[in-house]
A and B are shown apart, each in its own frame.
Chain A
Amino acid sequence: MDTTANSSSDLEAARAELEKRERYQRWMNYSLWAGILSLFIAIGIWMTVPEDIVVFAGTGLYWLGFLGMLGIYFGTSISLEDERDAQIAAEAGGVTLGAIAVLFVFFTPAAVALDATGTYQMPAEVWGVSGAFFLVFAIYSVSHWYYSRQHS
């Protein structure tokens, strides 16, 4: 909503829009949780009926739930999050990236040094984790560059 409601009729319309936003947010959550639940149920069934189709169907339902959530988010003309939601997401994202940065900066060079000197043979998973950390920063760098250009 970009305007401010001042009259009582405006306020009624604004209330209706706020209710619609809350309803769509609930539907998004239901869709996502239905997808997640479907996947867990499929895995549970697969443990007793080990047919591949069961797990694939669960994965498909999970994707459908996720796509349903995205469909509501991008399909509606009203904004489903406000500025406080955006700030919370930005702060949580910043803390997450900071935690990954600390791990990447301290952990990866130490792992390389220990492995190269033969002090400790690193398991293969360590390089997978380091690669994932690197990928996160590569994506962040590209995003940062893109949005810097957008706001310059």
Chain B
Amino acid sequence: MKNELRTYRDRHDLSQGDLAAAVGVSRQTINALERERYDPSLELAFKLAGFFECSIEDLFDPELSE
């Protein structure tokens, strides 16, 4: 799934490890998300959106129209 995770993480000046620690997953999971190799659960998507204080749609684009 396309996402803006890297952009938001850079904007907050966080490492992948910091973001991983903040939302309770491994650094590898954040890396896989940023490379669009893994789609998060609804719970993780909410955590990430909550952390960056944005909506889930700001972070993730499911490309449902395609």
Whether A84 sits at the interface, judged by CB under 8 Å, is yes
Best-buried of A2, A22, A83, A85 by chain B (most CB within 10 Å): A83
B interface residues, tally (CB under 8 Å): 21
Q: Say whether A14 contacts B22, CB under 8 Å.
A: yes
CB-defined contacts of A84 to chain B, threshold 8 Å: 25-26, 28-29, 32, 38
Q: By DSSP majority rule, is chain B's interface helix, strand, loop, or mixed?
A: helix
- Chain B residues contacting A17 (CB-CB under 8 Å) are 21, 24
Which of A2, A11, A22, A79 neighbours the largest number of chain B CB atoms within 10 Å of its CB?
A11
B41 contacts across to A, CB distance below 8 A: 83
B-side residues, CB < 8 A to A, are 17-18, 20-29, 32, 38, 40-41, 43-44, 47, 50-51
Q: List 6 additional contacts besides A17-B21, A18-B24; criterion CB under 8 Å.
A: A5-B23, A10-B22, A14-B21, A82-B25, A82-B29, A83-B40
Q: What would be 28 A-B contacts, judged by CB atoms less than 8 Å apart?
A: A1-B23, A4-B22, A4-B51, A5-B21, A5-B22, A5-B23, A5-B51, A6-B22, A6-B50, A6-B51, A11-B22, A14-B22, A15-B17, A15-B18, A15-B21, A17-B21, A17-B24, A18-B17, A18-B24, A18-B27, A82-B24, A83-B25, A83-B29, A83-B43, A83-B44, A84-B25, A84-B29, A85-B26
